[in-house]
Structure 1
Amino acid sequence: MSVQEEIRSLLNSSLSPSYLEVEDFSDEHAGHDGNPESKPEGTHIRIEIVSSSFVEKSKVEQHRMVYSLIQPWIDRGLHAITLDTREPGFSQEIKRE
C-alpha cells in the first residue's frame, strides 16, 4: 500500500469524512533540498478533507487533529503537507483551480 493510500485509509477510518482527497506530489520535488534522495513518494502530500469531526473546532484544532494522525509518516520523512480542512456545510465544495 502506498503512503497516499495508507494516509487516505487512516483519515477515512478516523475522521469519517464526507469528502477526502489525498495526493502525493513527491515526484515533483525529486532532487530538491527536502528530497535529496529523490524518493518517489511520501515526502510531499496534499490533503483536502471535509469532516463533521471538525465542527466547532478552530482551523488550528482541525489541523492538529490531522497532523496527530499522520505523525508516523512525518517521522518517516513526510515533510511538506498542504492541508485544507473544512466542516460540512461550510463551503463543502472544495474547488481546486
Structure 2
Amino acid sequence: MSSIHALIETRLREAFAPERLAVLDESAAHAGHAGHSGSGESHFRVRIVSASFAGRSRVDRHRMINEALKPAFDKGVHALAIEASAPGEAVRW
C-alpha cells in the first residue's frame, strides 16, 4: 500500500468509523494526464459507508471527506472520486 493510499485510509477511518471502506488508487489510468504526479499517487476513488453521513446531502458528504483528506491533497492528490453512503442506503459496490 502506498503512503498516500495509507494516509487516505487512516484519515477516513479516524474521521468516520466506516462500516465499509474501499480506497482505490486509479492513478495508473491517468498517467500522462494533467495533475498526474511523478510519484504515481494522484487519482483516487473512495467508497465509504458511514453513519456520519446519515441525513447529510451529497455535497455535505463530499465536503466532510475533502476536509478530512486535506493532508492527502497537500501531498499531491489531484483528483478524488467519492461514493459516500449512510448505512441502509443503496450502494453500487
TM-score, normalised on structure 1? 0.84
C-alpha contact 2:27 2:44 (8 A) present in aligned 1: yes
CA distance in structure 1 between the aligned counterparts of 2:81 and 2:68, rounded to whole angstroms:
15
CA distance in structure 1 between the aligned counterparts of 2:89 and 2:25, rounded to whole angstroms:
25
Q: Quick one: percent identity of the two aligned structures?
A: 36
Aligned match of 1:51: 50
Cα shift readout 1:29-84 (whole Å, capped 9, x = no counterpart): 2222222x53322x100000000001111111111110001112112221111100
TM-score, normalised on structure 2? 0.88
C-alpha contact 2:7 2:72 (8 A) present in aligned 1: no
Aligned length in residues: 92
Q: How far does residue 9 in structure 1 lie from its aligned partner after superposition? A: 1.2
State the secondary structure of the residue aligned to 2:33: coil
CA distance in structure 2 between the aligned counterparts of 1:15 and 1:84, rounded to whole angstroms:
14
Alignment of 1:18-37 (within 5 A): 18-35=19-36, 37=37
C-alpha contact 1:31 1:38 (8 A) present in aligned 2: no
Tell which structure's C-alpha radius of gyration is larger.
Answer: 1
Deviating runs (4+, > 3 A) in structure 1? Answer: none
Unaligned runs of 5+ in 1: none
Unaligned runs of 5+ in 2: none
CA distance in structure 1 between the aligned counterparts of 2:47 and 2:72, rounded to whole angstroms:
17
Provide the alpha-carbon RMSD of the alignment.
Answer: 1.5
C-alpha contact 1:30 1:38 (8 A) present in aligned 2: no
